[in-house]
């Protein structure tokens, strides 16, 4: 039993969809027990979220834009790939019903002018529904039995809209009951990623990029042989190929190594929650490339075959640094305490802001955090509210995090990396390392990222692996 999850890129246009269908059919020919999990088309979730947020502020124009996007992009694909007139008519009818629902929801939100997390999730989930509907039809057209399944039937979550948490036992029961009979009958379930529903059937979403999590949950529930995330890169690479063109894919990784990479990359590569259900059941996770399906990609497994290339450089851009510091001698009330720093980081976490790195120093009375750029202004506000007048709060809005993971280098990794950066006269703003030395992270000004990654990649020997 295999779970194949396709990211947005796999549905970019009719040509890509045709390739994706071929990948599914090839897998199905080898092993007919296949579950397909779909993301929305590229940019569709963003358009829907924009529409929903604008509606919450009374604006309906964004909803028109999203509706046009949804309709045009899916219609273009269907017109090219769904040749059976009856199937196409039925599909268009179902898409039109969904569009009506989008209209009803955005209008209701705009009329009330009220921000409703529940309404936003209902709207955001439409992108996956459109994609799964159309993929199921195209699969049937190409001669395979396939049926669209809404994940609201499979994944039971709490009511934490936007980042709902699934109830695992209930979800696993529903998934097995619904999908196993289909698989036994040779039907491919085409499931909407990213979505679920509360016990009362209210639609929820699992957070951005949540389609991978859906695939992992289904894989865990049916005890799959493998869960494969189909992306547009050859797996996890030794560095960002846009910066280092000869970066190489890592053939195999352990769950623990993948978990480190997930955390250090700020979940850009993989999300920890995707790994967890699979790691506890030893279900292999593969990351493969839709553009080169014959390549093996990266396999995350319990017992990876030892290979030379087990390290990687992960660069995450689009980050901001917020710091509070005090240069003057503080008054008694303003003295630095660990509690003050703890309160601020707790407030950030309650506000749903993920800090990718935090650093405090009693010696020079500073607290510094790295967050994603969209969270920067709000983080600064929290800092300003929390620190007194003796403190100076600053915002550096374009920084990046470069992390190196390499068990092979052992405890000298941080010094080697520091030496490489120093030799190239690249200054870092802050750094952090693991106790055992297996990784080290540097906060750098955004403009030094490319040269830093290139130098580290060659000096630390990743290029030759």
Q: Does 311 bind ligand ASP (CB under 6 A)?
A: no
Burial 336-363 (b: 16+ CB within 10 A, else e): beeebbeebbeebeeeebebbbbbbeee
Burial (0-12, 13-18, 19+ Cβ within 10 Å), 25 = middle
Stretch that binds Mg ion, among 12-20, 100-108, 201-209, 415-423 (CB under 5 A): 201-209
Furthest-apart CA atoms within the chain: distance in Å: 79
The distance of Cα 316 from the centroid of its chain, to the nearest Å, equals 13
Q: Which is nearer to Mg ion, 119 or 209 (CB)?
A: 209
CB of 294 to Mg ion, least distance (A): 22
For residue 326, count other CB atoms closer than 10 A to its CB.
18
Stretch that binds Mg ion, among 122-130, 198-206, 207-215, 437-445 (CB under 5 A): 207-215
- CA 127/CA 208 separation, integer angstroms: 12
CB of 379 to ligand ASP, least distance (A): 22
| Order of all β-strands in the sheet with 439-445 | 357-361, 366-372, 312-325, 392-405, 439-445, 430-433
> Within positions 297 to 316, which residues make up the interface with Mg ion, using CB under 5 A?
none
CB of 387 to ligand ASP, least distance (A): 34
CB of 233 to ligand ASP, least distance (A): 15
- CA 437/CA 18 separation, integer angstroms: 46
Residue in the shown chain whose Cβ atom is closest to ligand ASP: 211
Q: Which is nearer to ligand ASP, 8 or 190 (CB)?
A: 8
Which alpha helices (H) appear in 363-443, and where do they start and end? 376-386, 413-423
119, 166, 196, 211: which one contacts ligand ASP (CB under 6 A)? Answer: 211
> Within positions 89 to 128, which residues make up the interface with ligand ASP, using CB under 6 A?
127
Residue whose C-alpha is closest to residue 146's, from 137, 156, 155, 154:
137
**Which of ligand ASP, Mg ion, none lies near 194, with the C-beta cut-off 5 to 8 A by kind?**
ligand ASP
Q: Which is nearer to ligand ASP, 10 or 456 (CB)?
A: 10
CA-to-CA separations, 350 to 346, 376, 377, in angstroms, rounded: 6, 15, 16
- Residue 78, token pair as written in the block: 């269907």
119, 196, 209, 284: which one contacts Mg ion (CB under 5 A)? Answer: 209
CB of 216 to Mg ion, least distance (A): 12
1, 3, 4, 8: which one contacts ligand ASP (CB under 6 A)? Answer: 8
Binding mask 190-209 for ligand ASP (x = CB under 6 A): ---xx-------------xx
CA-to-CA separations, 408 to 88, 97, 462, in angstroms, rounded: 55, 56, 11
Residue in the shown chain whose Cβ atom is closest to Mg ion: 209
Q: Does 210 bind Mg ion (CB under 5 A)?
A: no
Q: Does 266 bind ligand ASP (CB under 6 A)?
A: no
CB of 156 to Mg ion, least distance (A): 23
Residue whose C-alpha is closest to residue 274's, from 236, 320, 321, 243:
236
Give counts: helices (H), strands (E), the chain. 14, 17
- CA 359/CA 323 separation, integer angstroms: 9
Q: Residue 315 belongs to what H/E stretch?
A: strand 312-325
> Within positions 249 to 268, which residues make up the interface with Mg ion, using CB under 5 A?
none
Q: Which is nearer to Mg ion, 35 or 102 (CB)?
A: 35
Q: Which is nearer to Mg ion, 42 or 437 (CB)?
A: 42
Q: Which is nearer to ligand ASP, 210 or 235 (CB)?
A: 210
- Residue 316, token pair as written in the block: 């995450």
Stretch that binds Mg ion, among 42-50, 190-198, 205-213, 438-446 (CB under 5 A): 205-213
- Total residues contacting ligand ASP by CB under 6 A comes to 12
Q: Which is nearer to Mg ion, 278 or 444 (CB)?
A: 278
Question: What does the binding site for ligand ASP look like in residue numbers (CB under 6 A)?
Answer: 8, 39-40, 45, 127, 193-194, 208-212
């Amino acid at each position: 039993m295999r779970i194949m999850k396709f990211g947005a890129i796999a549905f970019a246009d009719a040509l890509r969809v045709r390739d994706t269908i071929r990948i599914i059919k090839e897998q199905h020919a080898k092993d007919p027990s296949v579950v397909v999990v779909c993301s929305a088309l590229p940019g569709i979730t963003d358009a829907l979220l924009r529409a929903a947020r604008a509606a919450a502020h009374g604006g309906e124009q964004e909803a028109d834009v999203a509706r046009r996007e949804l309709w045009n992009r899916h219609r273009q694909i269907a017109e090219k790939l769904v040749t059976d007139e009856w199937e196409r008519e039925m599909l268009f009818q179902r898409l039109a019903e969904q569009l009506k629902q989008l209209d009803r929801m955005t209008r209701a939100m705009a009329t009330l002018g009220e921000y409703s997390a529940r309404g936003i999730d209902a709207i955001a989930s439409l992108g996956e529904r459109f994609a799964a509907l159309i993929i199921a039809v195209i699969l049937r057209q190409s001669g395979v039995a396939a049926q669209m399944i809404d994940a609201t039937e499979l994944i039971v979550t709490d009511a934490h809209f936007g980042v709902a948490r699934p109830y695992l036992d209930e979800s696993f029961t529903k998934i097995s009951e619904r999908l196993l009979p289909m698989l036994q009958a040779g039907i491919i379930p085409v499931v909407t990623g990213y979505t679920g529903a509360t016990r009362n059937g209210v639609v929820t979403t699992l957070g951005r990029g949540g389609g991978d999590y859906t695939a992992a949950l289904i894989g865990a529930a049916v005890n799959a042989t493998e869960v494969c995330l189909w992306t547009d890169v050859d797996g996890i690479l030794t560095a960002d190929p846009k910066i280092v063109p000869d970066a190489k894919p890592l053939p195999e990784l352990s769950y623990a190594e993948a978990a480190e990479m997930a955390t250090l990359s700020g979940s850009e590569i993989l999300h920890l929650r995707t790994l967890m259900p699979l790691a506890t059941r030893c279900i292999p996770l593969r990351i493969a490339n839709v553009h080169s399906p014959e390549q093996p990609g990266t396999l995350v497994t319990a017992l990876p075959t030892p290979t030379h290339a087990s390290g990687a450089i992960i660069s995450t851009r689009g980050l901001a640094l917020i710091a509070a510091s005090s240069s003057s001698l503080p008054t008694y009330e303003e003295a630095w305490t660990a509690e003050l720093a703890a309160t601020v980081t707790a407030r950030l976490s309650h506000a749903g802001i993920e800090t990718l790195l935090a650093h405090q120093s009693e010696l020079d009375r500073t607290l510094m955090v790295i967050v994603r750029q969209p969270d920067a202004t709000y983080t600064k506000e929290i800092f300003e509210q929390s620190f007194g007048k003796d403190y100076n709060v600053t915002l550096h809005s374009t920084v990046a995090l470069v992390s190196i993971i390499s068990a092979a280098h052992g405890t000298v990794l941080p010094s080697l990396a520091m030496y490489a950066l120093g030799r190239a006269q690249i200054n870092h703003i802050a750094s952090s390392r693991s106790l055992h030395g297996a990784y080290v992270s540097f906060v750098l000004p955004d403009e030094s990222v490319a040269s830093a990654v290139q130098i580290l990649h060659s000096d630390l020997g990743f290029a030759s692996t």
